[in-house]
Chain A
Amino acid sequence: MRDTAREFRSVTERQSRPNQSVPQSGKSSFPVLCSMQGLTMSTAQPMIKSRQAEKEINGIRTQVVCTEFNNYILVVLTQYGKMGSLVSITADSTSSDVSTPMFSTKVLMGKDEPLTHVCAKNLATRVSQEAGNRPVLLGLALKDTSIEAVKLMRDLITSCQVW
């Protein structure tokens, strides 16, 4: 709140004295950035929204990081701490607005086997639907791919909803 107040004051100050030059050299301060960009933006507030969660699933430490982009939701789901395989899940545009769309999966990196596609679809379909059929980029590094575990992982992903 204090930042907003300071920003407002400095913007109005500059407006009342239009001939005063805006400091250009060195590190520009936060209010200067705001007025120059013409939008309220804070350097403390990151441009990319992300949330993460961690849970032990069947005794295996599982981490999730969800990151929101305009055109993608990035979900990293890992039991190794690594990215693992990368799968892209997209809603097919051919279906009408009335019915729920079909989703297609594509392995961009890693093992291109049926199980990867099944897990990816299972985990990311709901994310994409909830995000207005936005494509999902899923990083998968799993030790346990049992259906019980996948269900729990789905809930874990939902717990860090950024969309």
Chain B
Amino acid sequence: MNVAECDRGALHTITVHDFSARLSEQVIHFHVMRLDGGFLLWVGTSPTLSNLAVSMNSKFDAMPISMLLMGDQSETAPNALAQRLAKKTKKQVFVSYNLPVVNSNLALQVESRIKTEMENHPEHF
């Protein structure tokens, strides 16, 4: 049964996509892993994974459910970003946000950069 599924190409192929942007005088890197029905997005300036949030839509609430799986529970940025991206894409979204939270302006710029990339390259999300 599964073999037939494979032959028809029914299974999703994971793809990886990288891009970067210069925001608030620093180079911010983005890494996207596209999965079946969702994606993982990493944002940062150095290759560390300090937190991970997951978010997905629920029929019980207009706002997607979000949860921090890893990292400092007091950090709301990864959750907030995951939630907004889940709402926008209707997909299961994993977010690792590795930037200082003090700069809320940067967070907005990061989000708008992600949205631009989503519009220009929807095939990667």
Residues of A within 8 A of B (CB): 27-28, 33, 37, 41, 43, 46-50, 52, 54, 56, 59-61, 63, 65, 67-72, 74, 76, 78, 80-83, 86, 88, 108-109, 137, 143
Contacts and interface: CB of A to CB of B under 8 A. Distances in A.
B27 A61 contact: no
Contacts of A47: 18, 20, 29, 31, 44, 46-47
Most B CB contacts (10 A, CB to CB) among A27, A47, A56, A68 go to A47
25 contacts: A47-B47, A48-B47, A50-B33, A56-B3, A60-B2, A61-B6, A69-B47, A69-B48, A71-B49, A74-B49, A76-B35, A80-B11, A81-B12, A81-B13, A81-B14, A81-B35, A82-B38, A82-B92, A83-B35, A88-B70, A108-B69, A108-B70, A109-B69, A137-B52, A137-B70
B118 interface: no
Interface of B: 2-3, 5-6, 11-14, 16, 18, 20, 22, 27, 29, 31, 33, 35-38, 40, 42, 44, 46-50, 52, 54, 69-70, 92, 94
**The 5 residue pairs across chains A and B that have the minimum distance between CB atoms:** A81-B36, A46-B18, A81-B12, A47-B29, A69-B49
Nearest to A88: B70
Contacts of A71: 48-50
B14 A65 contact: yes
A46 B29 contact: yes
Contacts of B47: 47-49, 68-70
B9 to A, nearest CB: 10
A163 to B, nearest CB: 12
B48 A48 contact: no
Contacts of B46: 47, 70
Nearest to B7: A61
Nearest to A83: B35
B12 A48 contact: no
A109 B48 CA distance: 20
A52 B69 contact: no
A137 B49 contact: yes
B29 A83 contact: no
Contacts of A63: 13-14
Contact of A72 (B13, B44, B49): B49
A47 to B, nearest CB: 4
A83 B94 contact: yes
A161 to B, nearest CB: 16
A144 to B, nearest CB: 9
